[in-house]
Amino acid sequence: MNEPPEPISPYEAIPIRLRVNGELRSGAVEPRRTLADFLREELSLTGTHLGCEHGVCGACTVLVDGEPARSCLLLAVQVNGAEVRTIEGLAVAGELSPLQSAMRDQHGFQCGFCTPGFLMQIQALLEERRALSEAEVREELSGNLCRCTGYESIVRGVMAALGSGADG
């Protein structure tokens, strides 16, 4: 193995560049900063919510290179060079995406705290373009917790979005 690079102090900011919702963004972050905090505090993208901050609730789910991931369990330095998509990127030119419309029509949220994480997880599912039964949808969404809806309306929203062939 090669000579390892010198370690970086936890307080020293490291430059990173990444694409967020299609836009090139750069910043300098302490190595310990999570992606969630970077998005919310440095980029003011506060649509990504933080619930548990240790991977259990799914509220902070974003897409990293097309795959859903917990932004509370990723350090910002780990996504240097990656393509990140957040809830702010779903609507196009102020128009709700087909998924967002389906969720609104089915009353898929109440307080809305869990919604950004759910929508990004569901968005990834839609982009896989698989036919899914309701039971499979429930399984796929089992990593996202909601304290309000009882999940019924969320699942209805997903089934509606799947039915309409929505993927964007």
Partner 1 sequence: MQKHQEDGRVLAGGQSLIPLLALRLARPALLIDLARIAELARLGEWEGGISIGAMVRQRVAERSPLVRQRAPLLAAALKFIAHPAIRSRGTVGGSLAHADPAAELPAVVVTLEAELVVASSERGERTIPAADFFSGHYTTALLADEILTEIRIPGPGPSTGFSFHEVSRRSGDFAMVGVAAAVAVEEGSISGARLCLTGVADRPVLATAPELGLLGVAPDRGVFEAAGEAIAARLRPPTDLHGSAEYRRQLALVLVARALRSASQRARGDNEDRREGAPA
Ligand X SMILES: Cc1cc2nc3c(=O)[nH]c(=O)nc-3n(C[C@@H](O)[C@H](O)[C@H](O)COP(=O)(O)OP(=O)(O)OC[C@H]3O[C@@H](n4cnc5c(N)ncnc54)[C@H](O)[C@@H]3O)c2cc1C
Residues that bind partner 1 (CB under 8 A): 1, 4, 7, 10, 31-32, 34, 53-55, 58, 61, 64, 67-70, 72-75, 77-78, 121, 124, 139-140, 142-143
Residue 10: phi, psi to the nearest 5? -65, -15
Indicate whether 70 belongs to the interface with ligand FES (CB under 6 A). Answer: yes
One symbol per residue from 100 to 139: x for binding ligand FES (CB under 6 A), - otherwise; what is it?
---------xxxxxx-------------------------
Please say whether the beta carbons of 121 and 144 come within 8 A.
yes
Indicate whether 56 belongs to the interface with ligand FES (CB under 6 A). Answer: yes
Indicate whether 150 belongs to the interface with ligand X (CB under 6 A). Answer: no
Indicate whether 60 belongs to the interface with ligand FES (CB under 6 A). Answer: yes
Please say whether the beta carbons of 56 and 145 come within 8 A.
yes
First to last CA, the chain: 44
Strand order in the sheet with 14-20: 23-29, 14-20, 83-85, 61-64, 67-70
Indicate whether 72 belongs to the interface with ligand FES (CB under 6 A). Answer: yes
Q: For ligand FES, give the closer residue by CB, 55 or 81.
A: 55
148 is in the binding site of which of ligand X, ligand FES, partner 1, none (Cβ under 5 to 8 A by kind)? ligand FES
Q: Which of the 8 DSSP states describes residue 107?
A: T
- Six-digit token string for 138: 């429930």
Please say whether the beta carbons of 32 and 75 come within 8 A.
yes
Indicate whether 52 belongs to the interface with ligand X (CB under 6 A). Answer: no
Which residues have a Cβ under 8 Å from the Cβ of 52 and sit 6 or more positions away? 59, 72
Among 55, 112, 150, 168, binds ligand X (CB under 6 A): 55
To ligand X, the closest distance from the beta carbon of 129 in angstroms equals 26
Which residues make up the interface to ligand X (CB under 6 A)?
A: 55-56
